[in-house]
Structure 1
């Protein structure tokens, strides 16, 4: 992928090995072009389910306990029985990775839906059978140019909702508001959407978490209007342990446009610098604080791997 084509933090370097991966569908390993779920599945019909993105590095899964905690909390929130204990689901993850002989440079999409419906209707009582569990492991590495060129963000009109509408801490299959935000940002020629909360303060991005650096301090929005990001929490942790002031507070676009540095975070790409927001060029692209935080985070990842066994 060329530099001109690299435009999103989730863009990745193509890997021919992905053509032959085995995908786990309810514990059965299927070839990529044979893996499928029913058109009556709750996830297909309604987006009824929860999911996690996981990274495999150096023979282990990064922050696996934290991801499973969030997955099971989401399932309980929507009153869905995953049907496996955390230990059983972990074993299924490991079995899939071992079948593919995967040890490093892998991204996993773990998806759990409520299961098959006897007819297309939203009521959970129309579900028959157990939850559908799909594990898709792929060799994925972020495009190297992403760090060098930085991300461009565009503030969209689509807002993050509060818990009275749909709690943003729920990592649900249904991501329509984020998709609409993503579309608007792409139409504006940006890489990612910056989303505001109902009062107009900065909330988060459509698929990543948002941070700014001002006078040596790292700011991010409070958790009320964003997903409880695993990477977000870890960035706050490593900053505070390293003596970098890391503050959760409400702030506006005024603070963003005049920030010293801006970066976004996520499971896939880790820490990615931002070069501009709404056409305003950020003063320091991949500045010293961003670089330090990226190094601290990479060390922390290496210390928090669950070995594949």
Structure 2
């Protein structure tokens, strides 16, 4: 049965979470936005997903860099500077007594419109900011057994159509890819770029291992992934040859190992792609090594952030 990399075991504590909406902490049942909100009407906004470890969001600076850069690109005024937004994140965690095993979704939309129309000039209020924290971790069985991928017809497009570097609320391109993969019995969609080279997955970044080398796409047609960048960093620090380059499905099918990366689950093995079994169908030694190296990077970032908070 197909699953999702974002599957998790339900936690009853999530029924009572408090959600931050424009400065107010609301019970889950009361956490709502207007039907005239730009995010609801048009998907007009940017967002980030964050993993919380020992009370701190991992790689927060990189996530905020991407959030503010995306907002600037679409001329969206978030209305809070980084310090105040960071304080809102920590206040939300404190209100929910959350420290570990937490995933946090930070969303910013252009705000409420006076009529449901695309022109940003009909927005009548400030940006809408929502912080949703949940007790949520990836299923251990997913990390142990790995994913099945299916290459879909839906492509990652050129940046002059919709720039894949934007982590926008408008995700229909990825959703249609996910639907096709699901209908094919896979867990995640593998997406190609306009030239037919491998680009990324619908909600994660894709890597292969060939003869001791780690390959990922050129990055031209995918989001600037935080976990992706950290895996490349871990490779360079450990002396593992790692390359951002164009490669085809033929090279994927002949790979020794494959894996995907993402904030929610970290480094996750891939056991099958388009019916081809990767290696012997179980997580390989490079994936296991990179999982350890990535956990070390997370621990180092959390220790640094904890030190900053105490200073």
Coarse TM-score class (shorter-chain normalised): over 0.9
Q: How does 1:175-214 map to 2 (within 5 A)?
A: 175-214=171-210
Q: Distance in 2 between matches of 1:298 and 1:7?
A: 24
Q: Distance in 2 between matches of 1:302 and 1:119?
A: 47
Tell me the residue number matched to 1:166.
162
Is 1:294 aligned with 2:291? yes
Q: Give the Å deviation of 1:247.
A: 0.2
Q: Give the Å deviation of 1:13.
A: 1.4
Of 221, 228, 251, the match for 2:247: 251
Instruction: Count the aligned residue pairs.
Output: 305
- For each residue in 1:222-271, what CA deviation from the matched residue of structure 2 results, as whole angstroms up to 9, or x when unmatched? 11100000000000000011000010000000011110000000000000
Q: Distance in 2 between matches of 1:60 and 1:85?
A: 19
Q: Give the Å deviation of 1:59.
A: 1.8
Is 1:47 aligned with 2:65? no
- For each residue in 1:33-66, what CA deviation from the matched residue of structure 2 results, as whole angstroms up to 9, or x when unmatched? 1100000000000000000000100121100000
Structure 2 unmatched runs, 5+: none
Is 1:27 aligned with 2:54? no
Q: How does 1:149-164 map to 2 (within 5 A)?
A: 149-164=145-160
Asked if the contact 2:227/2:261 (under 8 Å) is kept, the reply is: yes
Q: How does the TM-score come out when normalised to structure 2?
A: 0.97
SS of 2:259 mapped into structure 1: strand
Structure 1 unmatched runs, 5+: none
Q: Give the Å deviation of 1:205.
A: 0.1
Q: Give the Å deviation of 1:148.
A: 2.1
* Richer in helix (by share): 2
Is 1:236 aligned with 2:216? no
Asked if the contact 2:55/2:93 (under 8 Å) is kept, the reply is: no
SS of 2:267 mapped into structure 1: strand
SS of 1:104 mapped into structure 2: coil
SS of 2:160 mapped into structure 1: coil
Q: Which consecutive aligned stretches of 4+ in structure 1 deviate over 6 angstroms post-superposition?
A: none
- Once superposed, what is the RMSD of the aligned Cα atoms? 1.0
Q: How does the TM-score come out when normalised to structure 1?
A: 0.97
Q: How does 1:279-290 map to 2 (within 5 A)?
A: 279-284=275-280, 285-290=282-287
